[in-house]
């Protein structure tokens, strides 16, 4: 899309959050609040292009392809009426938004801009709704539900095991995923393994170790909308702290979420049929580490199976 001109009758509100799927999903309450507060504006979300199908589940926003902060936001100076910083509070995001020369900027407190002070450790949904509340916008951190996907699930009712993660710090060992898959399959669960195209070899390995056929490996074969539908209609979701877990929260699907470097208090699921497994005492907290965080490695196959059995049926 072209955000260079919002048209004479539709001023542009631009939200910067050039991050990942999970980052989009925890920002949904803030995005909903902005949509209510600016009903006459054209709403633009500046983020990586691959998130477009996920953004459709929020409703009301157009995606402006923005891969990160290394290059300027592709919108001309003076074309944006309201610029909202949901990316962070650092000088990089501040500078990218300042270059837009927007009439109004909504963000955290900086040397040049008023706003609430940044607080470490609070939940991300609360962080961004708190930001809007400070700026006089009503926002509810519990407003995190998504629209139903426009496509049907390729495997409705399946037990979805999302075996991938963006960083090694969140990769629960493949042999443990396989141990869970083998036991649940023996109990009658229809297992599907999801992940990105790059993670497909890992998913195939899990299937092989679990004694499952490759027909259950959906990693690399799903568009983002199909992946969301797979989660939305799942009987159970087992995942590390990734976008899959946040989708399970958004659609209130029973889930077991394995946490490693990220604190549960900042990224954990809302109340619902969700169980979090981790060992916070062992957590190193290095998101970009190549190896699994000790807090994640503390979670055993037995822990996951016990958590599954304690969940209410879907």
Sketch the domain layout of the chain as residue ranges.
Answer: 12-134, 159-310
Rg of the chain taking only CA atoms, in angstroms: 20
pLDDT by residue for the chain (314 residues), tens digit each? Answer: 455 444 557 999 999 999 999 999 999 999 999 999 999 999 999 999 999 999 999 999 999 999 999 999 999 999 999 999 999 999 999 999 999 999 999 999 988 889 999 999 999 999 999 999 999 999 999 999 999 999 999 999 999 999 999 999 999 999 999 999 999 999 999 999 999 999 999 999 999 999 999 999 999 999 999 999 999 999 999 999 999 999 999 999 999 999 999 999 999 999 999 999 999 999 999 999 999 999 999 999 999 999 999 998 77
Question: In the block, which residue shows the tokens 């190896």?
Answer: 291
| CA distances in angstroms from 50 to 47, 65, 179, 223, 257, listed in the order given | 9, 8, 32, 10, 24
DSSP string of 148-179, one letter each residue: PPSS--SSTT-EEEE---SSGGG---HHHHHH
Predicted TM-score of the model (pTM): 0.95
Q: What CATH topology corresponds to 12-134?
A: Rossmann fold (3.40.50)
3-state secondary structure of 63: strand
Residue 270 near residue 249, CB atoms below 8 Å: yes
* For the chain, the helix, strand and coil percentages under 3-state DSSP, each to the nearest 5: 35, 15, 50
Instruction: Record the tokens describing residue 307, joined without a space.
Output: 């958590």
Q: Which of 107, 103, 108, 52 is nearest to 80 (CA)?
A: 103
Q: Which residues contact 61 (CB under 8 A, 6 or more apart)?
A: 15, 31, 35, 43, 44, 45, 55
Q: Alpha-carbon distance 178 to 237, whole Å?
A: 15
Check for a shared fold between 12-134 and 159-310. yes
pLDDT at 2: 55
Q: Alpha-carbon distance 210 to 196, whole Å?
A: 20
Question: In the block, which residue shows the tokens 């503390």?
Answer: 298
Query: According to the CATH classification, is domain 159-310 in 3.40.50.2000?
Result: yes
Residue 6 near residue 81, CB atoms below 8 Å: yes
């Amino acid at each position: 899309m072209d955000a260079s001109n919002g048209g004479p009758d539709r001023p542009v509100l631009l939200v910067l959050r050039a991050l990942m799927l999970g980052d989009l999903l925890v920002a949904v309450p803030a995005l909903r609040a902005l949509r209510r507060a600016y009903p006459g504006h054209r709403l633009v979300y500046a983020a990586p292009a691959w998130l477009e199908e996920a953004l459709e589940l929020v409703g009301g926003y157009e995606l402006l392809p923005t891969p990160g902060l290394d290059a300027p936001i592709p919108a001309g100076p003076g074309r944006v009426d309201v610029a909202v910083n949901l990316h962070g509070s650092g000088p990089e995001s501040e500078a990218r938004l300042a270059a837009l020369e927007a009439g109004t900027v909504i963000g955290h407190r900086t040397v040049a801009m008023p706003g609430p002070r940044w607080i470490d450790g609070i939940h991300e949904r609360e962080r961004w709704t708190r930001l809007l509340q400070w700026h006089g916008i009503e926002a509810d951190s519990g407003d995190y539900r998504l629209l139903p996907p426009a496509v049907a699930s390729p495997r409705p009712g399946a037990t979805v095991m999302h075996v991938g993660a963006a960083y090694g710090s969140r990769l629960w060992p493949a042999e443990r995923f396989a141990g869970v898959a083998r036991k649940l399959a023996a109990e009658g669960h229809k297992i599907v393994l999801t992940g990105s195209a790059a993670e497909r070899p890992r998913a195939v390995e899990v299937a092989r170790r679990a004694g499952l056929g490759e027909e259950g490996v959906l990693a690399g074969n799903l568009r983002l909308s199909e992946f969301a539908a797979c989660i939305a209609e799942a009987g159970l979701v087992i995942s590390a702290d990734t976008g899959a877990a946040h989708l399970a929260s958004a659609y209130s699907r029973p889930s077991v979420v394995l946490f490693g470097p990220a604190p549960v208090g900042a990224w954990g699921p809302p109340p619902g049929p969700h169980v979090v497994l981790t060992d916070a005492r062992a957590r190193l907290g290095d998101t970009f580490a190549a190896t699994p965080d000790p807090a994640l490695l503390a979670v055993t196959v037995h822990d996951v199976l016990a958590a599954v059995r304690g969940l209410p049926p879907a």
